[in-house]
Chains A and B, each alone.
Chain A
Amino acid sequence: MNILVGLSQVPDTTTKIVIGADNKAIDAKGVKYIMNPYDEFALEEALRLKEKNGGTVTAVTVGGDTAKEVLRTALALQVDKAIFIKADSADSFVIASNLAAVAQESKPDVILFGRQSIDYDSFQVAPMVAELLDMPSVTMTSKLEISGTSLTAERDIEGGKETVSASLPAVISAQKGLNEPRYPKLPDIMKAKSKPIEERAASATSARTEIVSMELPAAKGKGKIFSDSDGDISELVKLLHEEAKVI
């Protein structure tokens, strides 16, 4: 089984966001970057599919220079090949086109992504890649079973789950709960430092969106604070009912 997994690098979830000088992106100073948490589930699933079915796992990253670090982590976890495409774009179509180009060449049976990257939260890349490659896609996958060339997946929907079936090759995006990701071992992290990462030029795809500005959400005024006394709780309920009108 030939597996391709897309990995992205995002600011750590504890990052306090500061807007950069151009007002179009965050200020990267002091920001700790990590592998996108949902991509960890995608990578783990790729490794498990290989362990079960044999084959190869190729990890691919489209991003700025520092994003290469996530490929080192993937190499430490024993992916067979790592491809880095330098394209520092926030446009999902540009990213999807570059990923689809890699897939067109390596002809994977399964392409895995995280359900969304937690920076731009776009949720677009997996279905876009599937559309560009004329493949089925299942997003928000919390359970995946592959037998032969057919797959059954469970995906989260509002208030429940959906069972979806499709044929390979297919694009899958991983939801939390799909598996329990493993951690790389220290000797493997050391060895990964000298493993090759293939670098490729970005395709000449034009962006279809343009960032006008990035801003912080409007700050809230100070709220009304109450004690846990009966009288205070009654007062709060009264305010929720009569002032805020939400109950």
Chain B
Amino acid sequence: MKILAYLETLDGALKKTAFETITAALTLAKQSGGSVVGLVIGSADTTQAGVYGLADCLVAKHALLEKQSTSAFAETIAQAAKAENADVVILPASSTGKEIAPRLAVKLEAGLAPDTVALDASGGNLVATRPVFAGKARLNVKITTAKKVATIRPNVFTAKKADAAATVTNRDFAPTLADNHVKATVTSVSRNTGKLDVAEADIIVSGGRGLKGPENFHLVESLAGTLGAAVGASRAVVDAGWRPHGEQVGQTGKTVSPTLYIAAGISGAIQHLAGMSSSKVIVAINKDKDAPIFQIADYGIVGDAFEVLPKLTEKVKSVVHR
């Protein structure tokens, strides 16, 4: 299979998801006996892609692409996929990738497997595994069309460095775009400065009703700060207005897969568990030893989050040096 890997950039540099996309694409190419071509939109330094084994990369440039319109991005990727005769296009399941992929799939008359956690091309088909019901179940889906599109969940396909770094050859790609390809345009971006987002973080410290009030979340923030982690929250505390929607982890919030998830004062309602159970290591702190959160925890502390969090923060400080 010929695979096109769409590599996301931010401020001229490849994002972490780009390296994960390269790893996923190279794995598929190896299974199916094919090759991978990367695609970046706009100016970016692609040198780092070589570290992860990518040797061939298209660089798409067009004045209309500067408007950051996902519809124009989708058209560009579709044209690149056709020009390269790609069988499969892999994108990250990021906020942008999730807007681009459905449009791209329609343009290529391709089946789309969204937000996948595993891809398998060994049997000649493309079978994708993806969590459904926010992770309460997994679906194995076969794409039945000739052309295929898949998005990969961030933080799941661990980027692997190549044994020997490749030298990236950049090839200019000039898509044919018209004003009509630019539909919705991004006029401004505001970033939560100094705050990590749960969707992207390697470590998350989440707080729940066990913290008893919004004024106590500094205990969660303090541990998160020590670990370089993002702050998460249960639905109960978001609904109560203690924390913003953006921090909610669970079936009606964000689904996350960090390396380490620490749940403090969260009992583990099924809809919360659904959103974080695919975390690699789970630590639960709860004073109720029968709380459901302990059933999926790798490590648990039975105790009051008030007392445990400050102690934990102190002990963590002695092993991490940030």
> Which of A13, A155, A247 touches B95 (beta carbons < 8 Å)?
A155
Binds B, one of A44-52, A191-199, A212-220: A212-220
Which residues does chain B contribute within 8 Å of A13, judged by CB atoms? 251-252, 270-271, 274
Chain B min CB distance to A8 (Å): 14
Q: Please name the residue on chain A nearest to B314 by beta carbon.
A: A233
> Which residues of A in the span 139-176 have a Cβ within 8 Å of any Cβ on B?
139-140, 142, 152-153, 155-166, 170, 175-176
> Which of B99, B110, B191, B297 touches A127 (beta carbons < 8 Å)?
B99
* B199 at the A interface (CB under 8 A): yes
* B184 x A225 contact (CB < 8 A): no
Q: Please name the residue on chain B nearest to A220 by beta carbon.
A: B296
Q: How far is the CA of A224 from the CA of B227 in the complex (A)?
A: 21
Q: How far is the CA of A246 from the CA of B193 in the complex (A)?
A: 25
* B103 at the A interface (CB under 8 A): yes
Interface residues on A, range: 35 or more
* A164 x B114 contact (CB < 8 A): no
> Which of B106, B255, B271, B278 touches A131 (beta carbons < 8 Å)?
B106
Q: Can you name 27 A-B pairs with beta carbons within 8 Å?
A: A13-B252, A13-B271, A92-B112, A93-B105, A127-B102, A130-B71, A136-B71, A155-B95, A157-B95, A161-B189, A162-B189, A166-B184, A170-B183, A170-B184, A176-B245, A208-B111, A208-B143, A209-B113, A209-B144, A214-B140, A216-B138, A224-B298, A228-B302, A228-B304, A240-B281, A244-B299, A247-B320
Which residues does chain A contribute within 8 Å of B190, judged by CB atoms? 160-163
* B19 at the A interface (CB under 8 A): no
Chain B min CB distance to A237 (Å): 4
Tell me the dominant secondary structure on chain B's binding face.
mixed
Report if A119-B298 is in contact (Cβ < 8 Å); known contacts: A159-B195, A208-B143. Answer: no
Report if A246-B115 is in contact (Cβ < 8 Å); known contacts: A13-B251, A132-B106, A157-B95. Answer: no
* A209 x B142 contact (CB < 8 A): yes
* B184 x A165 contact (CB < 8 A): yes
Which residues does chain A contribute within 8 Å of B318, judged by CB atoms? 237
* A244 x B103 contact (CB < 8 A): no
Q: How far is the CA of A234 from the CA of B316 in the complex (A)?
A: 8
* B210 at the A interface (CB under 8 A): no
> Which of B112, B139, B253, B260 touches A124 (beta carbons < 8 Å)?
B112
Q: How far is the CA of A152 from the CA of B188 in the complex (A)?
A: 11
Chain B min CB distance to A244 (Å): 5
Report if A124-B270 is in contact (Cβ < 8 Å); known contacts: A210-B142, A228-B304. Answer: no
* B102 x A209 contact (CB < 8 A): no
* B197 x A17 contact (CB < 8 A): no
> Which of A134, A160, A230 touches B191 (beta carbons < 8 Å)?
A160
Interface residues on B, range: 35 or more
Chain A min CB distance to B128 (Å): 8
* A1 at the B interface (CB under 8 A): no
Q: Please name the residue on chain B nearest to A215 by beta carbon.
A: B138
A37-64 CB contact bits vs B (8 Å, 1 = yes)?
A: 1100000000000000000000000000
| Interface-centre pick from A123, A130, A153, A247 (highest chain B CB count, 10 A) | A247
Which residues does chain B contribute within 8 Å of A247, judged by CB atoms? 203, 227, 260, 316, 319-320
| Interface-centre pick from A118, A158, A212, A216 (highest chain B CB count, 10 A) | A158
Which residues does chain A contribute within 8 Å of B289, judged by CB atoms? 225
Q: How far is the CA of A123 from the CA of B295 in the complex (A)?
A: 30
Chain A min CB distance to B292 (Å): 11
Chain A min CB distance to B133 (Å): 5
Q: How far is the CA of A156 from the CA of B197 in the complex (A)?
A: 11
Report if A223-B260 is in contact (Cβ < 8 Å); known contacts: A208-B143, A214-B139, A234-B315. Answer: no
> Which of A156, A214, A223 touches B246 (beta carbons < 8 Å)?
A156
Which residues does chain A contribute within 8 Å of B282, judged by CB atoms? 223
* B195 x A210 contact (CB < 8 A): no
* A214 x B302 contact (CB < 8 A): no
* B301 x A26 contact (CB < 8 A): no
* A11 at the B interface (CB under 8 A): yes
Q: How far is the CA of A124 from the CA of B269 in the complex (A)?
A: 27
Binds A, one of B38-46, B49-57, B58-66, B305-313: B305-313
Chain A min CB distance to B21 (Å): 15
* A239 x B138 contact (CB < 8 A): no
* A217 x B133 contact (CB < 8 A): no
Besides A138-B184, A215-B137, 13 new A-B residue pairs in contact (Cβ under 8 A), listed by A number: A93-B105, A123-B93, A159-B195, A159-B197, A176-B245, A177-B245, A212-B142, A214-B139, A216-B138, A228-B301, A241-B319, A247-B203, A247-B260
Q: How far is the CA of A138 from the CA of B319 in the complex (A)?
A: 44
* B192 at the A interface (CB under 8 A): yes
